[in-house]
Every structure is written in structure tokens, then in C-alpha cells.
């Protein structure tokens, strides 16, 4: 094996800013005070917030040091399953930083915002083309917000037909937020188990679908990284009883330019621009979760809608059946710019190729590692593959131990213990942006970890050894959190 | 994690979802099995219902959170909640330390005691665990 990319180096400790501050330090010079002092209303006077006094160098070193403790997509491979942590080309960041776009005020009049509105209008068009849907809203702030938007649209649709349905079908391989989004909308989630092949069977759906059920929330590809092959038949069953098909498009990275969601029978779909369409994410955003719908649901989309007339773009509130407004202004605009830039720079062929490579990379890892780790669903996967710790657990080595050890080799660990349908899951999503050399190194690292599990299990139980902080007491942190700062 | 033979499986009634149920004077006491707590790992939070709420058999009455995952808790028998173990709020580790004792979760006034009889006995539960 080639040299591991994980090594040790000098990393500097850094206290909290409150511990670092010293009375009287300041990062800038105030202009000379040329205003007479005047008494302040005692009700307004108080000690003020507890901010530390810091010099500029204190602040710069603080954040530089913290950034050196970090591991990101720009540092190395980050195969966090279900998260699509791909490398995001810097050109997209540059476009979002263009002064005219970054500085555009949301209250600027429409005739002074034609470029921004045109970009939004065209992005909606591009997203509907990529997904095979008919209309889109860019308003939702992230994936789960998109799910809620989609559920509200489905609710509005049923209401418009005088139908008060109470339930939603949610498979056990759906994204974890799906049942919560349905419940927030007043629906009772009805859980359906996936088949032995890890996908939904039409029979299981037919058994629960009735005229009291608003529809189904399906994630396709699902959280096992498998394509729901029976989706058209399932959509038929749901439609026959008057239900709607919601697809969680968070895993769209596997099927861009390959699958038409509309043709698959999907009525509502959300996308995660911050995953599939190249916005750096993690640690809370900002994200963007556009919702695409078929024609019959377009009139329920949130307002304002971006419209075009004779080459002039405008925001329209004239949508009487709309579910209303879901975000201050129009959504997370900067993320839209990055997605637009990504789609336009990649082009149709480039997006299709990205999905093909994402799927190829995951299958390559699956095939190269399936002799070493238990593969619960041994069939072609999409953009991610799911192993378990079944083989290693016989020697009392857990998924957690192996994930921690992977850090010593210089890789971010995969997603662990998810999806819940696989016991001790190890969920690997390499994405399309890793080279074969990197992926081979990753495979070699996991193979040597499997060897270590047999030869030196204690090494894994104590791992990681090289990072700045080693094995943390996650239990104590959850039970007795010490919050400061 | 424990081997199956190391698990404690007392003479109680067990549901498929690894809750145990025990008939007492005041109602049916419910918790999760030694196997369940062992599989979950260290429990860090237990969410329990309000006293007085009513749930059907199989309905979700709460959730148990470990560092690995959040798992739902299902009613082994339907009925009204008579008591919840308030100690678990401050000391969720009781679920791991004493799953059949201090780690109990709720006491239910059963709607139909036949539901209790239909649950597995300890031998049947052990057979399920052995698969």
C-alpha cells in the first residue's frame, strides 16, 4: 500500500475567546470622540453583552487555528453516505461572490433586478428539465423545508378537491426527516417495510394505500443506495386511489440526466442544491431545497413566483391557490447562484457524466470491499453502498471503532449506524469527484483496518490516534453537556 | 455487546419490538429488554408520554436515544398511562444499568388484558433472539 495520507503534525491548542481576551484590547481604533456626552436612560443602560476584548491578531489566530483542526472536502475524501460531500468547483463560489449578485438588495425594484430574476427563472427551468417535472419553486431553505413545502402542496391539492386525507405512506428506507415533515403537515405517517431486496414491493404499498391516504413519500434512490425499481407500479397504485407521489430527491446525484422523475410517476420532488448542485454544506447551511411539481400542482406553489413576460422578469403574488410564503424574501439566493453556475458550467452531458461516475465509484468500492465487510444487499447500487460490521462484530469490533480508525488514515469516516434497517451500518458515498487513486487509497485503508481488527483489535478500540482530539466520550457529552462560549 | 447467552431474560412478557411487560397490582409495567438496551448502547435520553394519555397496542409511546440512534418505543399492550419513570429524565443510564428494575418506563392501565397474554414468554423471546 502507498503511504497513508494521514500523518501527525504540529497543531496548536486554542482556548475559548473568553479565556483569551484581556481587558482593554481592541481590534480597531475608534475615531476621536467629538460629541458631548449625554445621559442615557437608565432603563437602556446595563453591563452590555459579555464580549471578550481581543486584538486583531488574537481573532485571526483563533479562527486560523480552529480551521486547522477541521477536516473538509477541500482537505480530503469525505465519503459521508447520504450527504453527497463532493468537491465544489471554486468557479461557483466566485460567481456567487460577484458584486452585482452578492450585493443585490432583496427589496430592490424588479426593473433594477432583472439579472437576478432572470437567473432564478432560468434555474427553475433547468431544474424542471433535469428532473422531468413541469414547474419549480426555489424558496425552501433546505431539504426538510422542501419536504414540508411538498407536503403542504399535496395537502392543498387534496383540499381543492374537497378531500380530507389523514395519512401518508413512508417506507423504512426513506430519509429520516420524511415522517417528521408529514407529521408537521398534520398527516399520520404509515411506515412500510422494504423487501428483502432493500426496495419497496408494490404488494406492500397496495396493502396500505387507501382513500384516506394522501400519498407516499419515497426516497429514490433510497437510503440503502438502491434504486426503487418498482416505482412506476407503486405510483400507479397510489394514483389509482387518488393519492400523490412525493419523491425525496436528496439522492438526485445518482440519476441526473438518466431518470425522468416525472415519467416515473412522481408528482412532487424536492432537490438539495447544497448536495447535488455544488454548494459547500455541513454544519448548518445555508442550503436550498427547491421543490419541483407536475403541472396539476403548479398553482399551489409558494409565492412570490418568478414570471417572464416579453423578456421582462417580475415577481408575482397573483396565485390565489398558493400555499403562501415560506421564506423571508425568495430563498437562499447565494446557493441558487452556485447551482446555476454549476449546471451551466457542467452542461447536460457533464451532469449525466457526474451521476454515472458517482454510481461507478460506489459500485467499485462495493465490489472491492465486499469480501472484507458484510454487504447486506448484494446487488448493483447507485451512488452509495452500505456495509455492516457483522463480520468484525464477532471479534467485538464495532462500526464506530472502524470509522474512528479511518481518521488515522486521513479520511473522513463514512456515515455510521444509518440507515437503521442495517444493523451497524457503514454507509459510503464516494461521489464523482474522487479520483481512482484516492478511492484505491480509501479501499486499502479499510482493508488494513479489517486486518487490524483481527490482529490488533485494541488499536481500533482506542482509535483515532493521530487527530488532535482522540476518542471522545460521546456518552458523557450527550448526558452531561458542558456548554460554554 | 453481549452474547445471547449472557443476556438476562426474566420471566416476563415480551413484545416483538423488545419491550417487556409485567402485570402488577396497579397495572402493567413496561420497559425495554436487556437485549434492546445492549443493542442500543449507552442511552442518553428517554422521551416518555404524559400520565393520562391513551395509546393503542403497537402505538409509539416514546423514544429512546443512544449515541447511535433514536429508537421508538411501542406499546406492548394498549391502555392509559398511569405513571412514567421520571427518574429517567435525569438518569437515562438506568435503562442500561437495570432495564427490568429502576430502568422501567411506564405503567399502563391495560384496555384488554388478553393482549398481555398474547405476548411472548421468556422462552419464546429467547428463541426469537436466537433467530
Determine the pLDDT at residue B30. Answer: 98
Nearest CA in chain A to B43: A475
A283 and A364 assigned to the same domain:
no
Sign of CA dihedral A309, A315, A321, A326: positive
Which of A290, A320, A345 is where one domain is finished? A345
In a domain, A276, yes or no: yes
* Closest CB to B44 among A393, A396, A475: A475
A234 and A306 assigned to the same domain:
yes
A223 and A310 assigned to the same domain:
yes
In a domain, B8, yes or no: no
A436 and A308 assigned to the same domain:
no
Which of A345, A362, A377 is where one domain is finished? A345
Which site among B3, B63, B69 would you substitute to test the A interface, given the most A Cβ atoms closer than 10 Å to its Cβ? Answer: B69
In a domain, B13, yes or no: no
Taking residues B91-115, what's their average pLDDT? 96
In a domain, B41, yes or no: yes
Which of A345, A380, A415 is where one domain is finished? A345
The whole-model pTM stands at 0.89
| Residues in A touching B94 (Cβ below 8 Å) | none
In a domain, A371, yes or no: yes
- And the C-alpha cell for A199? 426496495
Instruction: For A248-306, write each residue's pLDDT tens digit.
Output: 999 999 999 999 999 999 999 999 999 999 988 876 668 999 999 999 999 999 999 99
A237 and A109 assigned to the same domain:
yes
Of the candidates A355, A430, A434, A446, the one whose C-alpha atom is nearest the C-alpha of residue A82 is A430
Is ipTM over 0.85?
no
Torsion, Cα A122 A128 A130 A133, to 10 degrees, reads -170
In a domain, A261, yes or no: yes
In a domain, B60, yes or no: yes
Percent of chain A with pLDDT over 90: 85
In a domain, A258, yes or no: yes
In a domain, A241, yes or no: yes
A135 and A271 assigned to the same domain:
yes
CATH of residue B66's domain is 2.40.50.100
* Closest CB to B67 among A418, A420, A475: A475
Instruction: For A167-181, write each residue's pLDDT tens digit.
Output: 999 998 888 789 999
A286 and A369 assigned to the same domain:
no
CATH of residue A422's domain is 3.90.1150.10
Q: Are the beta carbons of A386 and A226 closer than 8 angstroms?
A: no
Distance of CA A271 to the CA centre of its chain: 9
Nearest CA in chain A to B41: A475
Which residues constitute the domain of residue A463?
Answer: 349-475
In a domain, B93, yes or no: yes
| Residues in B touching A396 (Cβ below 8 Å) | 1
Check if B64 contacts A (Cβ < 8 Å). no
pLDDT category at A64 given cuts 50, 70, 90 is very high
A209 and A355 assigned to the same domain:
no
Which residues constitute the domain of residue B89?
Answer: 18-122
| Residues in A touching B67 (Cβ below 8 Å) | 474-475, 478
A222 and A101 assigned to the same domain:
yes
Check if B93 contacts A (Cβ < 8 Å). yes
How many domains is chain A partitioned into structurally?
Answer: 2
pLDDT category at A7 given cuts 50, 70, 90 is confident
Determine the pLDDT at residue A483. Answer: 81
Are the beta carbons of B42 and A475 separated by less than 8 Å?
yes
A308 and A442 assigned to the same domain:
no
Q: Are the beta carbons of A309 and A290 closer than 8 angstroms?
A: no
| Residues in A touching B69 (Cβ below 8 Å) | 417-418, 420
- Which B residues 19-48 touch A at CB under 8 Å? 39, 42, 44-45
CATH of residue A158's domain is 3.40.640.10
Check if B68 contacts A (Cβ < 8 Å). yes
In a domain, A434, yes or no: yes
Measured in angstroms, the CA of A188 and the nearest CA of chain B are apart by 12
In a domain, B65, yes or no: yes
* Closest CB to B44 among A398, A420, A478: A478
How many domains is chain B partitioned into structurally?
Answer: 1
| Residues in B touching A420 (Cβ below 8 Å) | 69, 71
Nearest CA in chain B to A395: B1
A316 and A388 assigned to the same domain:
no
Amino acid at each position: 500500500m502507498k503511504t497513508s495520507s494521514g500523518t501527525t503534525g504540529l497543531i496548536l491548542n486554542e482556548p475559548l475567546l473568553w479565556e483569551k481576551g484581556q481587558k482593554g484590547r481592541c481590534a480597531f481604533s475608534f475615531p476621536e470622540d467629538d460629541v458631548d456626552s449625554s445621559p442615557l436612560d437608565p432603563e437602556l443602560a446595563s453591563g452590555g453583552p459579555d464580549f471578550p476584548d481581543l486584538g486583531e491578531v488574537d481573532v485571526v489566530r483563533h479562527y486560523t487555528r480552529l480551521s486547522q483542526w477541521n477536516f473538509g472536502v477541500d482537505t480530503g475524501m469525505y465519503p459521508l453516505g447520504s450527504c453527497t460531500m463532493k468537491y465544489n468547483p471554486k468557479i461557483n463560489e466566485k460567481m456567487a461572490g460577484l458584486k452585482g449578485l452578492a450585493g443585490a438588495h432583496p427589496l430592490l425594484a424588479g426593473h433594477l433586478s432583472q439579472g437576478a430574476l432572470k437567473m432564478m427563472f432560468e434555474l427553475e427551468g433547468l431544474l424542471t428539465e433535469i428532473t422531468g417535472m413541469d414547474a419549480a419553486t426555489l424558496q425552501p431553505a433546505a431539504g426538510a423545508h422542501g419536504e414540508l413545502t411538498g407536503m403542504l402542496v399535496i395537502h392543498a391539492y387534496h383540499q381543492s378537491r374537497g378531500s380530507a386525507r389523514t395519512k401518508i405512506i413512508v417506507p423504512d428506507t426513506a430519509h429520516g426527516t420524511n415522517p417528521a415533515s408529514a407529521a408537521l403537515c398534520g398527516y399520520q405517517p404509515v411506515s412500510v417495510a422494504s423487501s428483502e431486496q432493500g426496495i419497496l414491493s408494490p404488494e406492500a404499498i397496495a396493502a396500505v394505500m387507501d382513500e384516506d391516504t394522501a400519498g407516499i413519500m419515497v426516497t429514490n434512490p433510497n437510503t440503502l443506495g438502491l434504486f426503487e425499481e418498482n416505482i412506476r407500479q407503486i405510483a400507479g397504485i397510489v394514483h389509482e386511489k387518488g393519492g400523490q407521489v412525493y419523491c425525496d430527491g436528496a439522492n438526485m446525484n445518482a440519476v441526473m440526466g438518466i431518470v425522468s422523475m416525472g415519467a416515473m410517476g412522481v408528482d412532487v420532488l424536492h432537490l438539495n442544491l447544497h448536495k447535488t448542485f455544488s454548494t459547500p454544506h455541513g454544519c448548518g447551511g445555508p442550503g436550498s431545497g427547491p421543490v419541483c411539481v407536475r403541472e396539476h400542482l403548479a398553482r399551489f406553489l409558494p409565492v412570490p413566483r418568478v414570471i417572464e413576460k416579453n423578456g421582462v422578469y417580475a415577481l408575482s403574488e397573483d396565485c390565489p391557490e398558493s400555499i403562501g410564503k415560506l421564506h423571508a424574501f425568495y430563498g437562499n439566493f447565494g446557493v441558487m447562484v452556485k447551482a446555476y453556475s454549476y449546471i451551466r458550467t457542467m452542461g447536460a452531458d457533464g451532469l449525466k457524466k457526474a451521476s454515472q461516475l458517482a454510481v461507478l465509484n460506489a459500485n467499485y468500492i462495493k465490489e472491492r470491499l465486499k469480501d472484507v465487510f458484510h454487504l447486506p444487499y448484494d446487488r448493483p447500487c447507485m451512488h452509495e453502498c452500505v456495509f455492516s460490521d457483522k463480520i468484525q462484530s464477532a471479534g467485538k469490533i464495532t462500526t464506530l471503532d472502524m470509522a474512528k480508525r479511518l481518521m488515522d488514515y486521513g479520511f473522513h469516516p463514512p456515515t455510521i449506524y444509518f440507515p437503521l434497517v442495517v444493523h451497524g451500518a457503514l454507509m459510503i458515498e464516494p461521489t464523482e469527484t474522487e479520483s481512482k487513486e484516492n478511492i484505491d487509497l480509501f479501499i486499502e485503508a479499510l482493508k488494513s483496518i479489517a486486518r487490524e481488527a483481527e490482529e490488533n483489535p485494541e488499536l481500533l478500540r482506542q482509535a483515532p490516534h493521530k487527530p488532535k482530539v482522540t476518542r471522545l466520550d460521546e456518552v458523557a457529552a450527550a448526558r452531561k453537556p458542558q456548554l460554554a462560549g | 455487546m453481549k452474547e445471547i447467552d449472557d443476556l438476562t431474560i426474566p420471566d416476563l412478557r415480551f413484545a416483538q419490538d423488545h419491550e417487556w411487560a409485567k402485570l402488577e397490582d396497579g397495572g402493567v409495567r413496561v420497559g425495554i429488554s436487556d437485549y434492546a438496551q445492549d443493542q442500543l448502547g449507552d442511552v442518553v435520553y428517554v422521551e416518555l408520554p404524559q400520565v393520562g394519555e391513551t395509546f393503542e397496542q403497537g402505538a409509539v409511546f416514546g423514544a429512546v436515544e443512544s449515541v447511535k440512534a433514536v429508537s421508538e418505543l411501542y406499546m406492548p399492550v394498549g391502555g392509559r398511562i398511569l405513571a412514567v419513570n421520571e427518574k429517567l429524565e435525569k438518569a437515562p443510564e438506568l435503562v442500561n444499568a437495570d432495564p427490568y428494575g429502576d430502568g422501567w418506563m411506564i405503567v399502563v392501565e391495560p384496555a384488554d388484558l388478553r393482549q398481555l397474554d398474547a405476548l411472548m414468554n421468556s422462552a419464546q423471546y429467547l428463541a426469537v433472539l436466537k433467530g
